[in-house]
Structure 1
Amino acid sequence: MENQQRQQVKKYVDLLVFRWKMITVFTLIALTLGLGMYMRMPKLYQASALLSYEQQRINPARMAPEATRRLRDTVSTLTDIVTSRNNLEQVIKQFNLYPEARQQLPIEDVIELMRKNIKISPSSRGDTFTVTFQGRYPDKVMKVTNALAAKFIEENLKYREERATETSRYTQDELNMAKEVLDRKEQAMRDYKLKYYNEMPDQRQGNMQRLTALQEQYQNIQDSIQDLERTKVMVQEQIALRKQLAAGASTLGPVGQAPAAPPGPATPFERLQELRSRLDTLLLKYTDKHPEVRRIKQLIAKLEKDLEQPDQAAPDKESTGQSDLAARMQDPQLLQLKLQLREINLNIKKLREDQVKIRAEIEKYKKWIAAAPIREAEWAALTRDYNELRRHYDYLVAQNLQAASVEHLERKQKGSKFKIVDPARYPEKPFKPDFKKLILMALAGGLGLGVGLAFGLDFIDTSFKDVEDLENTLGVTVSCTVPYLPTRAEIRRQRLVSTLWGILLFSYTAALLGAMVYFWKKGMIII
């Protein structure tokens, strides 16, 4: 494998050596064409002027905040002004630029051509930038560059003074309009806050705490009512028991006779307690207008009326009933129990009234808390608009103060200004075309064309030049090869031709190098 690669490389080297004349000829022709192209191409000169941006020494920021404009923005604005149609047309006529183009093209195209030849580059560090202009005549290039730099200074002073005056008037008008809008917005915010004060987001935490306290109070009242209900049931049982005892005493017989059988269990009291517990459970879920709540209340009222109603005596025992009534009237414990029952009923009634009021308060606070997100969204919209208006108003106040100060400074020409640090100088050599770059491109093109043509001719040549090619093509083995043996006359002729080619190529190369040196000394070639 290595032997085949070596043979392949040797084959290419032999091919280049065999075609050296053609490669050399193409290389010299390319160099000649490159030199001729360089001599015929117009020479372009370039000049640059360095300008600096001096910040104003008197800072109006002490009186009002100032947003300092960046150098890049300032240069961009002034570039559009300096390269405007009127300014460039004056420069073209002043220095008689592009005379041939003005005769053939309209003035707009000539101005566009000049814009392409102007380059303004702000520096990445420091407050400096460069104005560059290119053209065919070095003296005009220098003058035009300095004129453009002077235009920057002139237009900057004019622009800043006009802008300061217009800005001062504009900011005053905007400030008056913003103040009217801000006053209306503040009035609307005050009215809104007074109308929905309890539903505002900042009151939500207090409302939640108050709601929690009311719910705890409501639950405590509910527990107290249940305790009173249980006490009431016990008192009612005691009253019923006292009545039964009094009724039993009146029906006793002679001494030693057993009393009547006691009554059955007090099931109405248990039913009453069960209904009241169920009513408390329903009130936690429903309102007083719910059908089930109303039905339970009716049953409770009926049972309470039946239990509180005194026993009626039979018509045929009127005298006995009157004696029982007198006995009950004379029973102090029964009277005390009835007074206690009445007090319990009054307390229950009072607690239920308080419970209704607290429930109304709870509903009110729930309504306020539920409305808090809506008020928060509405208040956020109002606040967002207000913040933007307030920020805009504060900005306009600062801008108005700054504009008045800047206007005063600009009228005295004490504001920021441009200064020419390094004026444009006479360009001694052109920057286009680049001789070295052009000659190297020509040399590379000539060598590439010569080598490519040599390999191309070898590729289309179908003759056998190698034993292996012959064996691979014919499929037979070559036993021996006979080299070509030229005659003495052929050898002399080949030597003569090679000598003539060498003399010719050497002479042409020497003449080409001599022409380059001559043109370089004459200043026609600038390296």
Structure 2
Amino acid sequence: MEEMQMQEMATSPVPLIVQLIDIAVRRKALLASCILTALTVGLSVYLIQPKVYQSDSLLSYQQQMVNTGRMLPDDKSKLQDVVSTLTQIVTSRTSLEKIITDENLYQTEREVLAMEDVIEKMRKDIRITPSKDGDTFTISYMGGNPDKVARVVNALAARFIGENMKYREDRASETSAYTQEELNMAKKMLDSKEAVMRDYKLKYFNEMADQRETNMARLIALQNNYQSRQESIQTQEQTYAMLRDQIATRKELLEAKQANLASTAGNSVQILSPAEQLEQLRAELQRLGLKYKKEHPKIKSLENKIARLEQSIQTEPKSASSSKTYSADDLTDKTLVSLQNQLKDISASITNIRKEKEDIQKQIDQYDKWIAAAPVREAEWSALTREYGELKRHYDFLMGQNLQAGSALNLERKQRGSQFKIEDFAQSPIKPVKPNFLKIMGLVLLLGCGAGGAGALLLEKLDTSFRFPEQLDAAFPFEVLCSIPRLPLKREIVRQRIWTIVGTASFLTWAVVLVAALGILWKQGRIIV
């Protein structure tokens, strides 16, 4: 209806502002009464509503000064998670119920509501607001008693700090216990794997791949040694055959000499002198030097005999003659005995060398087996060490984590870790946050003006009289030649004046009383702007 009235006024030939001013002047009593009524109602509503005070406390997050290897990272997202977790702990039933009991809060509500509902109401009155940068946050609480509101906020802040320390210590303790348990399990598995590897390596040490080069070098040395023994046996066998020939020749010579001795009358024999024996040995050495090398045992043996014989000739005096005569019974052949002794030595040497050769062959066979088994052992060892490498890396990682967790736990127990600090303690508020006097009075003033304007427009809608000549021109097809103003009677003028005086006095009295009430209530502190 108001919109239709405004549209009609807008289409009228009389300017809209002129029409509105005319309506306001004629309906000033309605407008004034609506405004004063609205202000009176607004003041009453403000006085009836209970005062709600809010107190705030600012907390900051202090980063730990000691770095424990980033075991407990304090990044922004982590801090938000911690604040969210601590908020749930601080606003838990146990925590809030204790604060309600200690501060004797919500007395009326506790008489009619269950404790769960009272706690839920308190949760709604508590507000924890993180800052944009994430390093600070605010704890707020609203209540009817300003002193209790401040105490509740400080209690919540202290509870927040205490729960944070406990939470961080519990988390560090759980982390340390978990890493220690995982470390023990990893160590047990690692020790078991190391025992298997140790037993395997002890059992197949010579067949391992890392021993292959050593085995190859040893095998080559044994093969060379075996070849050397083989050549030594061949040399010894040649010497053995030569000695047998020499012994046989010597025996034939002795038999011939014995036959000659038998034909002599004096039954005596002439043996060679040392000088003659030396000449004979030198001749023999020269003969053998054509057949054998200088390192040959026969050559060395003859050289030793020549040296001894030369030394014997130098120490003994020379005989007058070049020979001596002995009896046949005392006749002995030292050369034959020497040859026979050499033959025995060479035979024993050949036997020993053959035995050494057999031992070397056994060693060669053993090394061949070890070298042949190396690829198989290498594959088996690779399978063992592959899992061991993963276990060792996992164990080293857990060892580092356990050390860091222990350091973090010790840091938290000494209260040197990251923690919250109260930057601004809560103070008893002076100004309530609810109700807001200016907002209420401003709102009711707008409502009063709106109600008065709507009433005036409604009355104008019901009134069909013409107020301006231009309205007649628009309503009828004939032209208005002149307009005569209304000429009231004398009694009408008197009555109008009386109503004006009475109305004005009433409205002024109402306004003065309202203003005086506002002043008195403001002075009493019941109105807080």
Q: Same fold (TM over 0.5)?
A: yes
* Counterparts of 2:394 and 2:43, CA distance in 1: 67
The aligned runs of 1:80-479 (5 Å cut-off) are 80-125=88-133, 127-173=135-181, 399-479=401-481
C-alpha distance 160-390 of structure 1, shift in aligned 2 (>3 A): same
Q: How far apart are the structure 2 equivalents of 1:8 and 1:389? A: 92
Give the 3 Å change call, closer, same or farther, for CA 478–505 of structure 1 in structure 2: same
Distance 1:3 1:424 in 2: 61
Partner of 1:488: 490
The corresponding residue for 2:510 is 508
- Change in CA separation of 1:180 and 1:488 when aligned onto 2, cut-off 3 Å: farther
Question: Which residue is 2:234 aligned to?
Answer: none
The answer to whether the 8 A contact 2:54-2:149 is kept is yes
Does the residue aligned with 1:59 lie in a helix, a strand or coil? coil
C-alpha change, 1:93 and 1:3, in structure 2 (3 Å) is: closer
Which residue of structure 1 aligns with residue 34 of structure 2?
A: 26
Q: TM-score if structure 1 supplies the norm length?
A: 0.56
- Pair 1:130–1:413, CA change in 2 (3 A): same
Read off the aligned partner of 2:21 and give its amino acid letter: V
Would the aligned equivalents of 1:118 and 1:134 in 2 still touch at CA under 8 Å? yes
The answer to whether the aligner puts 1:54 opposite 2:62 as a matched pair is yes
What residue is the counterpart of 2:317 in the other structure?
none
* Mapped contact 2:13–2:474 kept (Cα < 8 A): no
CA displacement at 1:20 relative to structure 2: 0.8
Residues in 1 aligned to 2:460 and 2:444: alpha-carbon distance in whole angstroms: 24
Q: Is the 8 A contact 1:66 1:399 kept in 2?
A: no
- How far, CA to CA, are the matches of 1:73 and 1:130 in structure 2? 16
In structure 2, do the counterparts of structure 1 residues 180 and 30 end up closer, same or farther at CA, with 3 Å as the change threshold? farther
1:76: which partner in 2?
A: 84
Structure 1 residue 34 displacement after superposition: 0.3
Distance in 2, Cα, partners of 1:138 & 1:68: 36
- What are the ranges of 5 or more consecutive residues in structure 2 without an aligned counterpart? 1-9, 191-389
Question: Structure 1 495/394 Cα, relative in aligned 2: closer, same or farther at 3 Å?
Answer: farther
Partners of 2:447 and 2:391 in 1: how far apart?
A: 69
Partner of 2:384 in structure 1?
none
Identity %: 48
CA contact (8 A) 1:47 1:426 kept: yes
Question: Residue in 2 aligned with 1:192?
Answer: none
Structure 1 distance, partners of 2:141, 2:91, is 12
Q: 1:42 aligns with which of 42, 50, 59?
A: 50
User: Is the 1:65–1:398 contact (alpha carbons within 8 Å) kept by the matching residues of 2?
Assistant: no
| Secondary structure, counterpart of 1:68 in structure 2 | coil
Q: Look up the equivalent residue of 1:67 and give its one-letter code.
A: P
Deviation at 1:95, TM superposition (A): 0.9
User: In the TM superposition, what whole-angstrom CA distance separates every residue of 1:358-388 from its partner, at most 9, and x where no partner exists?
Assistant: xxxxxxxxxxxxxxxxxxxxxxxxxxxxxx9
Which residue of structure 1 aligns with residue 288 of structure 2? none
Cα offset, 1:128, TM superposition? 2.3
Tell me: CA distance 1:491–1:397, structure 2 relative to 1, closer, same or farther (3 Å): farther
Question: Hey, what's the Cα distance between the residues in 2 that align with 1:41 and 1:137?
Answer: 14
Q: Is the 8 A contact 1:23 1:447 kept in 2?
A: yes
How far apart are the structure 2 equivalents of 1:83 and 1:502? 58
Displacement after TM superposition at 1:118 (Å): 0.6
1:416 to partner: Cα distance: 1.6
Flag the structure with larger Rg: 2
Using a 3 Å threshold, how does the CA distance of structure 1 residues 450 and 394 change in structure 2: closer, same or farther? Answer: farther
CA distance in 2, matches of 1:526, 1:22: 30
Letter in 1 for 2:94: N
Residue 141 of structure 2 aligns to a residue whose secondary structure is: strand
Q: Assess, with a 3 A threshold, how the Cα gap between structure 1 residues 120 and 391 changes in structure 2: closer, same or farther.
A: farther
1:67 maps to which of 73, 76, 79: 73
Instruction: Report if the CA contact (8 A) 2:54-2:146 is conserved.
Output: yes
Question: Aligned pair count?
Answer: 320
Corresponding letter in the other structure for 2:457: F
Q: 1:15 aligns with which of 19, 23, 26?
A: 23
CA displacement 1:227-257 (0-9 Å, x = unmatched): xxxxxxxxxxxxxxxxxxxxxxxxxxxxxxx
Pair 128,472 (structure 1): closer, same or farther in 2 beyond 3 Å: closer
| Distance across 1 between alignment mates of 2:67 and 2:107 | 48
Report the residue type matching 2:484 in the other structure.
V
In the TM superposition, residue 25 of structure 1 has moved relative to its aligned partner by 0.4
Task: Provide the C-alpha distance between the structure 2 equivalents of 1:174 and 1:465, rounded to a whole number of angstroms.
Answer: 97
| SS of equivalent to 1:52 | strand
- Coordinate RMSD, CA, aligned: 3.1
What CA distance in whole angstroms lies between the structure 1 residues aligned with 2:466 and 2:391? Answer: 93
Q: What secondary structure is seen at the aligned counterpart in 2 of 1:60?
A: coil
